[in-house]
Structure 1
């Protein structure tokens, strides 16, 4: 049986319940619903808002390196702190926050398998008081690792003639163009429906079980390596609508299957579907 390439990147709920007081970890909750944290969270967890904390409010990009360092300091995160991310929607946004931390070079990152829902379903403790920690030292990152794990529009366009794997992790309706707008996400609209030419459809949720935990390494390899033609040493690009669902798939490919050249196109369909001259396909 195939095993995860980096099993240490996943934390099970039972393990975390026994290590809530470990000084070397920081539990980070990041949800689509930014109000969930206040209704109850894992004891000791801090809240990182994917929009307010990680995104620059004026440009379609992430916060500056000095702002990232300040975010870590105020949450008691140092360079040597292991961040354990979890959240709603089977860890969509937890994986997005983890991916953003990786952009700034923070490599001590893990995901709580099953996320917030599994923790609650098992009846584990939740608290409402906000967690606070003494400020930790965190140097301003000198490099952001865009080239390693992030793809921009021009790079995706140049990637198309290579025939390399391009994975669309949205729903089938979004892929075909039948779903031009997602009613629950009005801020993620696009003028055109369809997909990037040559992309294969593999919805993000294919990687998880009904309880939100990740499928086995054998199952994941069958889905992505046999089903999509990916291999561990071949460059691949994943995308969705704004980059959060594709962050989930990026985590699966990078950490669970050990693929070394996967990039997340976080501009995704909100950029491609609205951009003048960008080629699209429909069935």
Structure 2
């Protein structure tokens, strides 16, 4: 017979063993019961994130988790618009379009928007149809992706969006990339005639010299701005619209930045430019899609054209 002291010791040992077993079961089961709701909440939060930022057309930006869901459901065509020399880094299923494919030399100015027939060929060879939902990404804070977005908008593509934060955001979300782009099956793409309400030309820039309702917005670097600028232009570098992680600032922050520079919706035309209308396409995206401006035209000739024009340069 066990002595009372030994019996008490045995009872305590048995209690500890049962308690440990119970803890083990709880620790194994608890994360399983919480994991799925947490993941679902994360996906829902990512979808609502752009709306929470107060953007007018929040659907024009896609979060990484949302894009992953679109890809899994086969709802999207993804376009990689990074530097053609970069190895790997392709979002699964992404097709490659090269930067030079969407530009042309016009009146001795390089980097101008390509003609309609060229864009039809490029998009068709990428397997994109007129009805496709298209999401574009790059590795340059949506800089080049914005240029392709603008080109597709000029030629009438209805549903084209940007990946907020670009490839960095995709990788930060923990999603894998592939070594090569997808090999698309060519289709027929039919572009609309160019929407000239999205394009500014030199004649419109010259109107700004005497008409304050024509507003020239310089999106280049401070060094470029100081080196020479279009008379009367206002400077807001394109990067001012972004946070350090390459994602866009909130609508309230953006509105304050541009309105303090005098860039208001009542202008007849707001004409952003840079050197070759790439950075300015980024600013056009911000003003039209995130802030809801309706009177923004990308000056396609930009500084390359203006510098050759013989018009006055202010310093």
- Superposed CA RMSD in Å reads 1.9
Match of 1:251 in 2: 285
Equivalent of 1:205 in 239, 244, 248: 239
Q: CA deviation at 1:123?
A: 3.1
- Of Structure 1 and Structure 2, the greater helix share is in 2
Q: 2:207 aligns with which of 145, 149, 158?
A: 158
Using the TM superposition, give the Cα deviation of residue 62 of structure 1 relative to its aligned residue in structure 2, in angstroms: 3.1
The corresponding residue for 2:295 is 261
Over 3 Å counting, the alpha-carbon distance change for 1:57 and 1:267 in structure 2 is closer
Distance 2:267 2:132 in 1: 30
Cα displacement (A) at 1:71? 1.7
**TM-score using structure 2 length:** 0.77
Other structure's SS at 1:262 match: coil
C-alpha change, 1:3 and 1:126, in structure 2 (3 Å) is: same
Tell me the CA shift for residue 97 of structure 1. Answer: 0.6
How does 1:103-252 map onto structure 2 within 5 Å? Answer: 103-139=154-190, 141-145=191-195, 147-164=196-213, 165-177=215-227, 194-231=228-265, 234-252=268-286
Equivalence for 1:29: 80
Structure 2 gap ranges (5+): 1-51
Could you say which residue in structure 2 is the equivalent of 1:84? 135
Q: TM-score, normalised by structure 1?
A: 0.86
Deviation string, structure 1 residues 4-47 (Cα, Å, up to 9, x no partner)? 1101101001111222134341111112x2212x4221111111
Contact (CA 8 Å) 2:218, 2:234: kept in 1 or not?
yes
Task: List alignment gaps of at least 5 residues for structure 1.
Answer: 178-193
| Structure 1 residues 177-204: Cα deviation after superposition (integer angstroms, max 9, x where no partner) | 1xxxxxxxxxxxxxxxx11011111000
Aligned residue pairs total 260
- Once residues 180 and 225 of structure 2 are traced to their aligned partners in structure 1, the CA distance between those partners, rounded to angstroms, is 42
CA radius of gyration, larger in: 2
Q: Which has the higher contact order (CA 8 A, sep 6+)?
A: 1
